Structure 1
Amino acid sequence: MLIRKAVRVTTQKIKASLPRLIATIPVSSPAVHFAINPITNRVYFIQGDNHLAVLNTITNKIITTIPIGEMASHLVVNTRTNRIYTSNFFDGTVSVINGRTNRVISTIKVGERCDHIAVNTHTNFIYVSTISLNSKNADVVVINGHTNGVYRRIAFNGRPSQLLVNEWANRIYVTNTTTDSLSVINGLTNKIVSTVKVGRNPVITPVLDRKTQQLYVANNLSRYCSVVDLRTMKVRRIQLGRLQRDITINPLTNRIYISSAQISIKGRLFVVCSKTNKIINTLTVPTFSDVLINPRTNHLFVSASTETGTVPLKVYNGSSLNPLTQLRVGKGSGSLLLNPRTNRMYVGGEKTISVIQD
């Protein structure tokens, strides 16, 4: 989710009403990757290996499915141009979809394989991490959104993985799962300006706290979270004692929420204050929990995958971690998406998408 304007808040307002399930939408295959255009009231998600589904959030009906590339893995929306981009892992292409006509208008070859994708809506550049099958090196490919052509290839030693765009600073942050590092790309020159060491297997998309100018990198195979001071590029560790699964941020309260990813025991959620970088609260959660915070209500949503039946989507107060309610959502639930305009949450599952009004 990209918020274009800074928000000044003096008091965090907690909504009195509780979230409720308002719709269950059937899908023909698991809905696990989401993106949203809140301006047009459309939610997009991968349907099977090579289709993109379009959901009307007003009617909660699927409008259409669009053929795209093979084994699509991630997608992103440029809300300014109403274009949707999918990275198609198996054939190393990016599909460009016109959000008005729901048609593929271009297919761009970026590499042997491609992984994560991100967009800077201000510059209309799209960034894609690629994978080489025959080399230890790979690229971050920069696509010009005006021409739908490859603008530049930025060489990396190792495997660039997750991408995060800071539109206000015009910087792109790239994790590298081979070298266990984080690199910073200058969006003006499209060159790497800094690289620092983080924890092992940073395969989770980092989160940025703009107030403190710190980037939080969850490490899937290290028992600490890496915190990068973007002014000095110095890295400090927050010891968690556990491997990590997911991370989210409430920028209004300066709280970072990190879930663990251990299999043998119950999961753990850690709450970190970005002003002090200290753990201020913890919570027992299901293994492989996905987490998302709604900044407007300060409601923390925790979902978990399951092999059979429905599972509870648990909701907590983001400050106290007191439980507020739980909702029954579909089998295999995990992926969470928030529409910041309507305060609605979309929970992906194997056979359904659950719509929660917060």
Structure 2
Amino acid sequence: MREYRLIALIVSISFLAIILSGCFPIKIITYSISGHVKDTLGNPLSDVTISFDHGYAAVTTEASTGYWEKKGLSGTVTVVPSKDGWAFTPLERFVSATANNIDFTGTFTRKVFKTINVGKSPRFPAVNEKSNMVYVPNFDDNSVSVIDGSTDQVSTTINVGSRPQQAAVNVPLNKIYVTNYYDDSVSVIDGNSNKVVATIKVGVNPIGITVNPTTKKIYVANLGSNNVSVIDGASNSVSATIVVGNGPYGVKINSITNKLYVASFSSNKVNVVDCSNKTIVATITVGNKPANLNINVKTNKIYVSNSNDNSISVINGDNNSVIKTAFVGNGTSGIGINQKTNTIYIALWGDNEVLVMNGANDSIISQIKVGNTPHGVAVNYVSSKIYVTNYDSDTVSVIK
């Protein structure tokens, strides 16, 4: 009997050794799973990271559908969705076989967590993501409040020209440019010293301003002279003037395509300028009294606030056509975009709110109450904080 047991043991060990040596490989059964991620209104969520344990690589949801798929799984796997500013239900799911209904629902979680007192009548701010500083022009104080983003407190106040309107930042050079409406000038601030180092004369009643950090050119929309001043950032002098539509208000550069978009307040149009030759290459009809605009350079979509009909025009930068008009609330004003999460924030001065849009399909996902008469929005995509200027409260709301 003992001999038989010994022989059986030897045979078992030998068979196991053969399997381990690869002569009779064990076939591992794999499976695939998929699903959708949507918000509480049923809109698809883009750029949601779907993570898996056991070392499987993560995937992201598709922009237009919120769909995701993962192949080659084995065993029991934990699936977890994540996106900055969102909470998901359920928090996680466990799978062990093929399934096409591993779905999640996202809830937007951002809200105002701090209110900062600044100068009188703050307008359109700008953020330096590298230095984590926020620059807030105070229209009735002729000053700029500098907010330290690490503490969300005002660190200093800088005197500029008369009736400052908007700030723009050249991040690589750490230079800040501020339009002064009544002085017909732009103040240049050195971000290292927070001192005005130059004042540049431009056209009449400048409002909007934007910087191309690649070319070191600054573009200024002059409401009263129907043109755009081009400033050479190296010499701090006007190098060219571009005639545009009536009442240029907001202006924004796409640094990738080197196309400039100018909102013409009095003609209800957006002019597209090819900055390589400084010529208008397209004119796009939008809503009533377009004022501010912004660009998501990743999707090449331009968002325009039409201040007199409470709408947002969405322009496809590939063919310069309006692909959507959304009526969003009372008093559309400044627009901020988080390029990383493809989220758009729109100040509604008539509702004392910031409207939040999902850039994947330009649907409304949330409204956030802020201070009185919000005008401008600036996004720090590094810290994921949103800074909203409240004109009649003399404050900045910080959303996180």
Q: TM-score range by the shorter chain?
A: 0.5 to 0.7
Structure 1 gap ranges (5+) = 1-10, 28-44, 52-68
Tell me the CA shift for residue 152 of structure 1. Answer: 2.8
State TM-score, norm by structure 2: 0.60
Change beyond 3 A, Cα 1:292–1:193: same
C-alpha distance in structure 1 between counterparts of 2:301 and 2:154, whole Å = 40
Distance 1:193 1:122 in 2: 21
- Post-superposition shift, 1:271? 2.0
Tell me the TM-score normalised to structure 1 length: 0.66
Q: Percent identical across equivalent pairs?
A: 28
Check conservation: 2:226, 2:247, Cα contact below 8 A: yes
Corresponding letter in the other structure for 2:267: S
Report 1:1-358 matches (<5 A).
Answer: 18-25=106-113, 27=115, 45=116, 47=117, 51=118, 72-81=122-131, 85-94=135-144, 104=155, 108-132=158-182, 138-204=184-250, 206-235=251-280, 236-240=282-286, 242-263=288-309, 267-290=310-333, 291-301=335-345, 304-306=348-350, 313=355, 315-316=357-358, 318-321=359-362, 323=363, 325-327=365-367, 329=369, 332=372, 334=374, 335-341=376-382, 343=384, 353=397, 355=399
Closer, same or farther in 2 for the Cα pair 1:300/1:194, shift >3 Å? same
Contact 1:164 1:172 in 2 (8 A): yes
Q: 1:22 to 1:117 in 2, by over 3 A?
A: closer
**Contact 1:85–1:94 under 8 Å retained in 2:** yes
**Amino acid paired to 1:256:** I
- 2:212–2:255: 8 Å Cα contact kept in structure 1? no
Once the two structures are superposed, what CA deviation does each residue of 1:33-57 show, in whole Å capped at 9, x if it has no partner?
xxxxxxxxxxxx5x2xxx3xxxxxx
CA contact (8 A) 1:348 1:354 kept: no
Q: Is the 8 A contact 1:186 1:193 kept in 2?
A: yes
Q: What amino acid sits opposite 1:226 in the alignment? A: N
Distance 1:193 1:219 in 2: 22
Structure 2 match to 1:65: none
**Number of residue pairs matched by the alignment:** 295
Structure possessing the higher relative contact order (Cα contacts under 8 Å, 6 or more residues apart): 1
TM-fit CA distance, 1:210:
2.6
Post-superposition CA distance 1:230-278 (Å, at most 9, x none): 1111113112253214322221111112232225xxx333221112112
Counterparts of 1:77 and 1:293, CA distance in 2: 12
* Distance 1:124-1:210 versus aligned 2 partners, 3 A rule: closer
Contact kept in structure 1, 2:269 and 2:284, CA below 8 Å = yes
Q: Contact 2:331–2:350 at 8 Å: present in 1 too?
A: no
Return the offset for 1:312. Answer: 8.6
RMSD of the TM alignment (CA)?
3.8
Q: Is the 8 A contact 1:18 1:324 kept in 2?
A: no
- Cα distance in 1 for residues equivalent to 2:354 and 2:129: 32
**In the aligned structure 2, how far is the partner of 1:343 from the partner of 1:154?**
33
Letter paired with 2:173: T
Structure 2 counterpart of 1:34: none
